Amino acid sequence: MKISWPHMGSLEVVLASVFEELGLEYVPAPPNSERTLELGARYGPEFACFPLKTTLGNFIEAIEAGADTLIMVAGRGPCRFGYYAETQRRILEDAGYEFEMVPLTFHLGKMPLLMRQLRRLKQSASWTSLARAVKIALSKAYLIDRLEQQALHQRYLDRDKGATTSALKECYEMVFQCDGYDRLRRVEREGFELLHSVPKTERQPIKIGIIGEFYLVLEPFFNLQVEEQLGYLGAYVERNIYLTDWLRPSGNKPIAGHHDSESEEAARPYLTHAVGGEGLHSVGNTVLFHRHGFDGVVHLMPFTCMPETIAKSILPMVSQDLGIPVLSLVIDEMTGKAGVATRLEAFVDLAHFRRRAHRQELPLAPQPAF
C-alpha cells in the first residue's frame, strides 16, 4: 500500500508525520503546479467546484508517482466538498486509473464507519500507535499554524522582500524533520527566533483580514499567494481559519482567536442559519474583523461555491453598514495572478485612504464591497 492525499496548506506535515510514525509507505503528491490545475480541469466537470479540480489533479499526479491508495475527506451537508471522494473515484476509474479510494468521514454519527476506514489505513499498527502518531502530528500542525500566523503579522516589516517567507520555509523543514516532543519544543523556540531575527524596517501597516472557503484560504498556490502579496503591500494580515482550527470538531479556533459561536452571533443581523461550508462564518468574521479594528477584508471563494456565493451576496450590506471595505476574489482555473495583484493594490490603496480620512475625521460615504 502506497498512500497519498491532496495538498492543502500544511496538511502534508500532519499526514506524512502519522504515516512515518506508523512505518507506512506514502507517496506525497508533487507540489501544486500549473500542470496540476490543467489535469484537474481536463478530467473534472466544467462547473465543478474549483477545489474538486485541483485535488483531482493532485490525485492524478500522485498515481503517476506510484501511489495506489488515495485519502480524501468525506461528509454530508450543503457544501459539495463532502462528496468529492465519490465523485473523484468515479472520474479516475472512468479514466482508467487503478487505485483504492479511502474516504474519511469525520462526523459524530459516523464514528464506526471512520474506525473501519482507519483500520484499512493503519494495517498492522496498533490503535495505541495510531493515537500517539496522530497526537504528535497535530502538535506539529499546531506549531506550524502559530509560525504561519507570526509570518502573517510581520511580513509587512521585511527590510528585504521575501525574507519572512524564506524563514518560514526553513521553519517548515525543521518541523517536518523533527521527531518526539523534546525536539519539537526546541524547534518551536528555534523557529520563532528565526522569524524574529528577520531584518525589519519600521512602518505603519494597515490591517487586512482574510475570510472565505477553507481550502482556498489554506492553500497558497491556488489562492495565488494572496497573503504574501498583501504583506508585500504593507498589510498586517490575519485569517479567519488555520489548519488545526479546521480540524477541531468543537468549533473552537485558538489560533484565529475565536469560537464559531462568536462569528455565528456576529452574523445574526444578516444571516441566521448555516448555509454549508464557511458561508455563515464568512459573514460573521467580517463583522468580527471590523470590531477588532481591521481596515479591510479580502474574501476568497472558488467559482460555483454555493455557500460563499450566498455570503458574497450579503457582504455588500455588511460593508455598507459597517463602513469596512470588502474585496471578493472569485478564483478558478482562468484566474490570473496579475489581475489579482492589480485588484489587491487598488484595495490596499483604498484601505490606506480610508484610514487617513478617518484619522482626519473627514466625512465618508459607506464603502460598498468590490
Gap between the Cα atoms of 286 and 293, Å rounded: 11
CATH of domain 205-370: 3.40.50.11900
d(CA 47, CA 93): 20
Quick one: pLDDT at residue 110? 58
C-alpha–C-alpha distance, residues 57 and 41, integer Å: 8
Q: What is the pLDDT of residue 362?
A: 44
Quote the cell numbers at residue 220.
497558497
The CATH T-level fold of domain 3-125 is Rossmann fold (3.40.50)
Handedness of CA 35, 36, 37, 38 (dihedral sign): positive
What pTM does this model have? 0.91
52/58 Cα distance (integer angstroms): 10
> How confident is the model at residue 299, as a pLDDT?
98
pLDDT by position in tens, the chain (length 370): 899 999 999 888 888 888 888 888 999 999 999 999 999 999 999 889 999 999 999 999 999 999 999 999 876 667 788 889 999 999 999 999 999 998 887 655 555 666 777 777 777 788 888 888 888 888 999 999 999 999 999 999 999 999 999 999 999 999 988 888 889 999 999 999 999 999 999 988 899 999 999 999 999 999 999 999 999 999 999 999 998 887 776 677 778 788 889 999 999 999 999 998 899 999 999 999 999 999 999 999 999 899 999 999 999 999 999 999 999 999 999 999 999 999 999 999 999 888 887 765 544 444 444 3
CB atoms within 10 A of CB 79: 22
pLDDT at 248: 72
Distance CA 137, CA 203 (A): 37
CB 256 within 8 A of CB 284: no
Range list for CATH 3.40.50.11900 in the chain: 205-370
Sign of CA dihedral 226, 231, 234, 239: positive
CA distance 344 to 29: 30
Residue 328: the pLDDT is 97
Distance of CA 227 to the CA centre of its chain: 11
